Amino acid sequence: MKQSIQSLLAVSTLSTLLASCGGDKKAPEAVTNDDVILHAWSWSFDTIAANMKNIADAGFDYVQTSPANTCYVGEGGGMALYSQPGDSVTGKWYYYYQPIDWKIGNYLLGDRDQFKAMCDSAAKYGVKVIVDVLPNHTAVDHTAVTADLDSAVGGHDKLFHANGLNDIIDYNDRYQCTTGKMGGLPDVNTENPDFQYYYMKYVNDLIACGARGFRYDTAKHIGLPSDPLDSLAERNNFWDIATGREPIRDITLSMPDSLFIYGEVLQDKNVKEDEYAEYMSLTASAYGHALRNALVNHNYYADSLASWHHKADPTKLVTWVESHDTYANQHESAGISDELIREGYVFLTARQNGVPLFFSRPAGSTRDNYWGNNRVGARGNDEFMNPEVVAVNKFRHAMHGQPESIFVSDNGAVIEVARGNKGVALINIGEEQASIDLPTTLKDGEYVDKVHDTTFKVKDGKISGVLTPLTSYIIY
């Protein structure tokens, strides 16, 4: 079958010139992102700690926890991921997204001592902990916030924006978006210096316990300096304080230069992605949507994957096939098979840029039963330890400094991500066996992949071999 090149990306101009001139100078390294994140969604701190060796052995650099803050106790403290009226077990996963105080520990995941023990375990195995933080809002029942919090911010009425109890009607109106109530969650006055001081004590306590990064939930709902001011705010300076550019009184963010910070800035018509990117890395939500389109159609060409669909530089993007929201909230991705999700993750992780996140689905989940064993605190399924996931994580580390080239079969079913002439990932997202004869940057010779012991031949700039359906092959 005739094959074609889809795109050739990120090859150094200087390197090309040196090669064409026969120069013997060492070509400069390409700028690469080398880290990968496991999102241990709804795992307890104890569960993450108990699985830290597995996480490290699987090649993950970071493990991301669910929110550690004190939260609203819903449905009598039930520990189900999701329950319906009349179920024998009650609970909802999203109660940890409803803060009632900014202190470490909640009934769903564990207390401060358990959080610290988890971080100590991470340090032992060389894994870094990212904590999901959410200063934007409180619990739907804002009367449940603690007396300590109310007192710290100058009284309950000072906790929220003047507009903070009004629903957002137009999410593309930046005043509404950054000061209004989202999904029933009252909007915190993040510009109140008393709140900033209290919140930064929480963040620095997380760091003191061993956290080494943060994911900012609903980041696009927290105002930038250029955004309209709420009447109770003097200036929109939250991000300057949260990222360590400014102190708040006698507190400054600890270890600002060694933390990995990214924000959930979901893309829409009027989102200031470039301005948010001045402060932190950002979620590539539009790219995840495009990738899922390609996967479910078993065709790379079903959507535009050559562009990152984002204003920010790709080195500042956190990429995913799915997130906890697309799986557990909107169910947009929940019907996609584990195999397809895995092949999409291999594609993202083999690439030169972006920081890929692997979302851990619930243990026992199926495409008919999204909740699986339906327990908050339990480990997710075994997919994070799948040999293809492990192999591509290690491939990514080994490909430091290597530019990418992407080649795709004419029918879009087979994708090759080549990294310099050091290695390739071959990914069959199709449902049929594929025989390939694709262009490649590998040198001539025979290669055996790291996962399935399958042999591929390279001759005259073409790689040939046979790929089984929904399978990846890692060569280096």
CB 200 within 8 A of CB 253: yes
Cα 10 to Cα 28: distance, rounded to the nearest angstrom: 12
Cα dist. 436→2, 227, 384, 415 in Å? 9, 52, 28, 10
Nearest to 108 by CA among 63, 145, 149, 67: 67
Cα 391 to Cα 406: distance, rounded to the nearest angstrom: 19
Cα 176 to Cα 170: distance, rounded to the nearest angstrom: 7
Instruction: Report the Cα–Cα distance between both ends of the chain, in Å, rounded.
Output: 25
Nearest to 460 by CA among 438, 476, 436: 438
21 alpha carbon, distance to own chain's centre: 42
CB 133 within 8 A of CB 214: yes
264: annotated active-site residue:
yes
Single-letter residue type at 125 = Y
Cα 142 to Cα 196: distance, rounded to the nearest angstrom: 18
Cα 470 to Cα 214: distance, rounded to the nearest angstrom: 33
Helix axes 338-350, 387-398, angle to 10 degrees: 10
Catalytic residue among 264, 343, 404, 449: 264
217: annotated active-site residue:
yes
Catalytic residue among 187, 205, 217, 339: 217
Cα 359 to Cα 341: distance, rounded to the nearest angstrom: 9
Query: Which residues are annotated as catalytic?
Result: 217, 264
